[in-house]
Chains A and B, each alone.
Chain A
């Protein structure tokens, strides 16, 4: 009887400890996930017209919404265009910074600094680079006789401009994970390989790269999540324009929710975003599980 009492008290303690954090988590993560799915089946309440059940109407509307397909396509182009480049650059940076390089600390700082700056601040600076005529980019192009171009105003180049910024911002962040992994590789391995007559490139391809696989997977999943989650620069650079050419899914959700105040449709779009993030989460958790088995 005493034992049981002691156990029950521990339970109560544990739940009391958890209570404050869980209340906030449920309120701002779990409830909005469920609530968002729920309200995607209802209409947006308007003045004098309360919300009512509409079944799959919002989804049907979404399927016929060209802007939705456009931003989804943009988002995938953005993700698949930036991620391989930033991951390769990150690996290259890590290898350089990890090796014998004069002024290594300065180089590392230069690579990593963009990570620490707010996206809004760097977008302000980059906006000027892309400005026609007076911007740096046009000035550089002028040296080669390329005519002035409205980089952000042209639907063909607007998304590309944002992708360049994203690569610049992210590569240094991913570098540190590679750097940590590289430092975990015992130097004896390399010495042994060189004694055996293996070249540097051969060693990199056959030993280093496979050993970095878990890091690569981690970086890939996280950069994909980032590309669906971080849209701050759009606010400064293009506002999604011209003609939604540079808009991404979360930015479109923002516009629908807080520009048009169509919360039901914004919730429907959020469900798609959650679905994508959920799929990535499953990938990541399966990978974590695998790694736990390794150890």
Chain B
């Protein structure tokens, strides 16, 4: 009797887990259905409905997706490169140097983990406009390049490098910069990967600051382009919007499905501060 009861409980749990999984996957599956079928089948599920790529073709023609892709690609690369260089240098200073004002400087860094540039759009717009960087890709990425989060993660990683390795390199006559490049950076590779994945997904998906700072096709990233394209005023039907939306998310989505473990671990690492 006991066993049967718990068996039923288990079956019920499995059903519930799968039902929830289905609900969670449904919006994306539905968008995929809509994107590959003519508009008539958008809320009619007929397994024999004809498949079509027309929606993708129209989406590609309605909005300059190629340009948006290029913009997002440049933005993500530029931001990540800047972040990695700046954060590596700063994290090294925090991990291995003693200097007056270190504690205060570190607290100032921590402030940015809680209050990110995302909420400071008003003043940052004024600053960016003084720098003449409104409506440039550099202007979208610049506020994020001095990343507290990156400094924090890399500092942790550098601190775990045994001092003996540094001493050995120094005995061989290596200067601090080549020690950083040849000892610390290679050993922190998993952290770089984790930070890189989180940063790329963050900036691929970021919207508020880009929409504030851009106003032309040549600078708009995918998210901003997608918001114009998907707006009801654009008069595009849902099948085409779905196709456009899938186009925009597919690179990141495919990368995620292929490297799921790395993604999940990176997000996990990024949360456990």
Interface centre among A29, A39, A106, A180 (most CB of B within 10 A): A29
Within 8 A of A (CB), among B77-130: 85-87, 89-90, 92-94, 97-100, 102, 105, 108-112, 114-127
| CB nearest to B108 among chain A residues | A30
Chief secondary structure at chain B's binding surface = helix
Q: Is A258 an interface residue (CB 8 A)?
A: yes
Partner of B253 from the list A116, A176, A273 (CB cut-off 8 Å) is A116
Q: Is A163 an interface residue (CB 8 A)?
A: no
When chains A and B are docked, how far (Å) is the Cα of A11 from the Cα of B145? 24
When chains A and B are docked, how far (Å) is the Cα of A179 from the Cα of B267? 12
Contact A285 B110, CB 8 Å, known A14-B97, A27-B127, A277-B119: yes
Q: Is A161 an interface residue (CB 8 A)?
A: no
User: Across the interface, which residues of B come within 8 angstroms of A42, CB to CB?
Assistant: none
Contact B238 A111 (CB under 8 A): no
Within 8 A of A (CB), among B157-216: 176, 201, 204-205, 207-208, 211-212
Q: Is A128 an interface residue (CB 8 A)?
A: yes
Chief secondary structure at chain A's binding surface = helix
| CB nearest to B256 among chain A residues | A116
User: Across the interface, which residues of A come within 8 angstroms of B41, CB to CB?
Assistant: none
How many chain B residues touch the partner (CB < 8 A)? 95
Q: How far in angstroms is the closest Cβ of chain A from B158?
A: 12
Q: Is B53 an interface residue (CB 8 A)?
A: no
Q: How far in angstroms is the closest Cβ of chain B from A28?
A: 4
Q: How far in angstroms is the closest Cβ of chain A from B39?
A: 10
User: Across the interface, which residues of B come within 8 angstroms of A139, CB to CB?
Assistant: 43
| CB nearest to B248 among chain A residues | A121
Q: Is A18 an interface residue (CB 8 A)?
A: yes
Partner of B249 from the list A121, A128, A134 (CB cut-off 8 Å) is A121
Contact A168 B143, CB 8 Å, known A106-B21, A116-B263: no
User: Across the interface, which residues of A come within 8 angstroms of B242, CB to CB?
Assistant: 124-125, 128
Contact B227 A236 (CB under 8 A): yes
Contact A96 B17 (CB under 8 A): yes
Contact B27 A126 (CB under 8 A): yes
User: Which residues of A are interface residues toward B (Cβ below 8 A)?
Assistant: 10-11, 13-15, 17-18, 20-25, 27-33, 35-36, 39, 89, 92-93, 96-97, 101-103, 106-107, 109-129, 131, 134-136, 139, 168, 171-173, 176-177, 179-180, 200, 218, 222, 225, 228-229, 231-232, 235-236, 250, 253-254, 257-258, 263, 266-267, 270, 273-274, 277-278, 280-281, 284-285, 288
A to B CB contacts below 8 Å, 18 in the list: A10-B99, A18-B105, A21-B146, A22-B105, A25-B108, A25-B148, A28-B127, A28-B144, A109-B260, A112-B264, A113-B24, A125-B242, A128-B238, A136-B30, A168-B24, A173-B267, A258-B125, A274-B119
